[in-house]
Amino acid sequence: MKFKSLALAATVTAVGLGALATAPAAFAQAKEQFFPLLAYRTGPYAPNGTPWANGKQDYIKMINARDGGINGVKITFEECETGYATDKGVECYERLKGRPGVTLIDPQATGITFALTDKVAADKIPLLTLGYGLSASQDGNVFKWNFPLMGSYWTAADMLIQHIGKKEGGLDKLKGKKIALVYHDSPFGKEPMPLLDERSKMHGFELQKIPVTAPGVEQKSAWLQVRQSKPDYVLLWGWGVMNSTALKEAQATGYPRDKMYGVWWAGAEPDVKDVGEGAKGYNALNLNTSGQSPKVIQDILKLVHDKGQGTGPKEEVGTVLYTRGLIIQMLGVEAVRRAQERYGKGKVMTGEQVRWGLENLALDQKKLDALGFSGVMRPLSTSCQDHMGSTWARVHTWDGAKWAFSSDWLQADEQIIKPMVTAAADKYAAEKKLTRRTPADCQS
Amino acid sequence: MLYRENGQFKSSYRSDQQIFPILQDRIAIGLLLAVAFVAIPLLSSEYLMRAIFVPFLILSLAALGLNILVGYCGQISLGTGAFMAIGAYAAYNFQARIPGMPLVFSLLLGGLCSTAVGVLFGIPSLRIKGLYLAVATLAAQFFTDWAFLRIKWFTNDSSSGSVSVAGLNVFGIPIESPVQKYLLCLGFLVVFALLAKNLVRGAIGREWMAIRDMDVAAAVIGIRPVYAKLTAFAVSSFIVGVAGGLWGFVHLGSWEPAAFNIDRSFQLLFMVIIGGLGSIMGSFFGAAFIVVLPIVLDGLPYWFGIPIDTALASHLTFMIFGALIVFFLIVEPHGIARLWSTAKEKLRLWPFPH
């Protein structure tokens, strides 16, 4: 019996290892642009990670079905489950980075972004972290391979303070007010702090930092603190189950939801749906619209979902995070298209060429309209120095049944962000013994 | 037939006391080392190196450290993740604050810091035993989680609480390529495995085992429980601390306290239990089982070309993995290492069992 099971175990291991060793060679194919998709469909962050991952996949399927790929180059993809865990994310990255035609990585998690930032530079694969990741990586002169397109946690925090200031009737009215930051106790939640500290010094409001232990299903003590100190506003920096739990706790403590402002990762349907009426009045930043009316979503419904090839349930198409997934994937595809303009149409782009494409993105309104993204997002253009492209976002409010925009377009204050980004990038460069890129390097 | 020690006579104490008294074992170990040091670096792909071998080696080292405490000295600990974290953060601080600090010294000093804290949290073991001690060591876990999240000094005032290292080198040789990382980890593992093996067969190891089997009886025959238990905590947390440093520096490169959370402690404890308590070999089996198996299971649908939903694949991995743990514990409650030694016993009689 024991011998048999031992032999069985040995065979299974041998087969597995054999498969591991031979795997990369068997899949060498030509003329395909490969997108590694790191996703999480299990665990406490799955409710938010799933629509995001679905959006990315559906966009690829739609581009292949409608245009036959990027100028004739078919797009392939493979998904790898990270469960939002850093070590699993690193394993996924190592597994997928060696595939032929690998384009770029969107790790969908700040922790994984931190771990990959050093690795991508050595492997020459761009890291696309739309609205998350390392705030300092906006500085393309130091962070050659990072692209926090459309915003970082610093721009988000800045816009929220501006918006609250406007509500109070001017930023100077913030003096003496108390703002609490209820944050996910991880790099994700801690990133906005330097900016909030800066702003609190400028305007004289008191910043109270209240950590919530990851994953955030237990928040009683955090909200007890909120109840005791009665802050004028609460900024919610959560992700996954933490958001809906926070809203339920706010309801239980009686903290007014309309004084709560979430980052754009704390303002989607999964966060408020379970709370329903209880979340009424809750505000959050948003980078994009939601709904099924944009042309790109109509195309996806027609070409992907009606053919039975949709990745997720049809009614979730066009939700906030799904649409964000679309934007991320669209930017990746457009970066490849831009790179092809320079390095040869209809060719498979390498990671280095895609990096040039990301750095020279120029999506004006006309282009966005042509892509079917009119109204979904604002134009964006990147450069060698600025890897963010734009910082526009709006605040939307949950009315108990749906999200509705409740502010104009906001923009982060360059005067504050820029020196902070430069200082943080310089510090990073000094720690890693990097030198700033030369103008000549920008041309390559 | 092949594996038999007939005719191998020991004519000196030295040859009687060597680690592998049987010639065939020595040949096998020599071959294994040759494969590990030469064949694997030459033959395996970058993915195998980075995603499988390096984590396997580092977690084997950590499991080895934990096995000394749990398997040899019988003190159940749930603070392994904490001791890894202390090793990693202390090594990071030595590296970041002292310019020109060699990597190997940082890692070893990190291990020493971990030793100090390990001994401190080992003191309760003099009074409490078994599961109660496990709960007490859990305190170490929560304490370090708190310390590295809240005390900014430890993370060198990093705004996000995440620390990272770069430009690693050992005495001038850069540690960048997967092969270099692999060899560094392998070097540490071989040295520490040899050290651990010698410790557990020496006087101190016998003291640990005596304490494990019955502490009152051990005290009666003149073994000091204070000394035995605290040395076990010290040696164990030193090895675990060095493993933590390697995990942070070599495998992740950039980490946050979540990399060493309670899940890591449980994972290591399971490695030791499944691999085999009180066996150096068992640490390796346990690490292989827990690290490599899920990755292989995860990859199977892709390698066989079966398109399968990512969520389903990961759920299946959990289910099969869980079933296998139950299977192994039923077939051999003493761990995979016991299966291994049973196999060796059988092999000695093969092909003529009585």
| CA–CA dist A426, A142 (Å, integer) | 8
pLDDT 10s digits, B51-83: 899 999 999 999 999 999 999 999 999 999 999
Query: Does A197 reach chain B within 8 Å, measured CB to CB?
Result: no
Note whether B265 and B85 are within 8 A (CB). Answer: no
Question: Class assignment of domain A31-151+292-386?
Answer: alpha beta
Q: Which residues contact B70 (CB under 8 A, 6 or more apart)?
A: B76, B77, B269, B272, B277
Contact state of A115 with B255 under an 8 Å Cβ cutoff:
yes
Query: Does A2 reach chain B within 8 Å, measured CB to CB?
Result: yes
Residue spans per domain, chain A = 31-151+292-386, 153-286+395-417
Q: Which of B55, B89, B51 is nearest to B256 (CA)?
A: B89
Contact state of B48 with A41 under an 8 Å Cβ cutoff:
no
- B329: pLDDT confidence band, cut at 50, 70 and 90? confident
pLDDT at A19: 47
Question: Class assignment of domain A153-286+395-417?
Answer: alpha beta
Looking at residues B132-157, what average pLDDT do you find? 90
Q: Is the pLDDT of residue B333 over 70?
A: yes
Q: Is the pLDDT of residue A12 over 50?
A: no
**Considering the entire predicted model, what is its pTM?**
0.88
Residues in chain A: 444
- A30: pLDDT confidence band, cut at 50, 70 and 90? low
Contact state of B160 with A187 under an 8 Å Cβ cutoff:
yes
Fold: same for A31-151+292-386 and A153-286+395-417:
yes
For residue A384, give how far its alpha carbon lies from the nearest alpha carbon of chain B (Å): 24
- A1: pLDDT confidence band, cut at 50, 70 and 90? very low
Contacts of A187 in chain B (CB under 8 A): 160-162, 256
| CA–CA dist A355, A144 (Å, integer) | 8
How large is the greatest C-alpha to C-alpha distance in chain B, in angstroms?
69
Contact state of B51 with A91 under an 8 Å Cβ cutoff:
yes
Contact state of A433 with B332 under an 8 Å Cβ cutoff:
no
pLDDT at A266: 94
Q: Identify the residue whose tokens are 């309309």.
A: A258
Contacts of A54 in chain B (CB under 8 A): none
| Interface list for A 208-237 with B (CB within 8 A) | 211, 214
pLDDT at A442: 82
Closest alpha carbon within chain B to A311: B309
Contacts of B303 in chain A (CB under 8 A): 19-20, 23
Q: Write out the E strands in chain B.
A: 163-164, 169-170, 173-174, 254-255
CB atoms within 10 A of CB B324: 17
Closest alpha carbon within chain A to B145: A213
Contact state of A23 with B332 under an 8 Å Cβ cutoff:
no
Contact state of A81 with B253 under an 8 Å Cβ cutoff:
no
Backbone angles phi, psi at A306, to 5 degrees: -70, -20
Q: Taking the CA of residue A342 as centre, how many other CA atoms within 13 Å lie in the half-sphere pointing to its CB?
A: 19
Residue spans per domain, chain B = 46-349
Q: Which of A31-45, A101-115, B163-177, B189-203 has the lowest mean pLDDT?
A: B163-177
Provide the token pair at A157: 């925090």
Q: Which residues contact B74 (CB under 8 A, 6 or more apart)?
A: B208, B211, B212, B213
pLDDT 10s digits, B165-179: 887 888 888 888 899
Q: Which of A25-34, A155-164, A193-202, A282-291 has the lowest mean pLDDT?
A: A25-34
pLDDT at A67: 92
**Which of A6, A42, A111 lies nearest to residue B314, judging by beta carbons?**
A42
| Complex ipTM over 0.90 | no
Considering chain B, what is the average pLDDT of its residues? 90
pLDDT 10s digits, B280-313: 999 999 999 999 988 888 878 777 877 778 888 8
**Which of B162, B302, B346 lies nearest to residue A187, judging by beta carbons?**
B162
What architecture is domain B46-349? Orthogonal Bundle (1.10)
Q: Is the pLDDT of residue A128 over 70?
A: yes
Looking at residues A177-205, what average pLDDT do you find? 93
**Which of B253, B258, B309 lies nearest to residue A118, judging by beta carbons?**
B253
pLDDT 10s digits, A378-404: 999 999 999 999 999 999 999 988 899
Looking at residues A427-442, what average pLDDT do you find? 86
Q: Write out the E strands in A30-72.
A: 32-39
Q: Identify the residue whose tokens are 């084997």.
A: B60
Contacts of B343 in chain A (CB under 8 A): 2-3, 6
Contact state of B259 with A86 under an 8 Å Cβ cutoff:
yes
Q: Greater confidence, A410 or A24?
A: A410
- A27: pLDDT confidence band, cut at 50, 70 and 90? very low
Closest alpha carbon within chain A to B299: A20
Beta carbon pairs, A and B, within 8 Å: 133
pLDDT at B114: 97
Contact state of B254 with A211 under an 8 Å Cβ cutoff:
no
Closest alpha carbon within chain B to A187: B160
| Interface list for A 351-390 with B (CB within 8 A) | none
Please say whether the dihedral angle defined by the alpha carbons of residues A149, A155, A157 and A159, taken in this order, is positive or negative: negative
Q: Which of A123, A54, A137, A50 is nearest to A93 (CA)?
A: A123
Contacts of B254 in chain A (CB under 8 A): 114-115, 117-118
Query: Does A41 reach chain B within 8 Å, measured CB to CB?
Result: yes
| Interface list for A 92-131 with B (CB within 8 A) | 94-95, 98, 110-111, 114-115, 117-119, 122
DSSP line for B31-49: HHHHIIIIIHHHHS-HHII
For residue A42, give how far its alpha carbon lies from the nearest alpha carbon of chain B (Å): 6
Contacts of A42 in chain B (CB under 8 A): 311, 314-315
Note whether B243 and B192 are within 8 A (CB). Answer: no
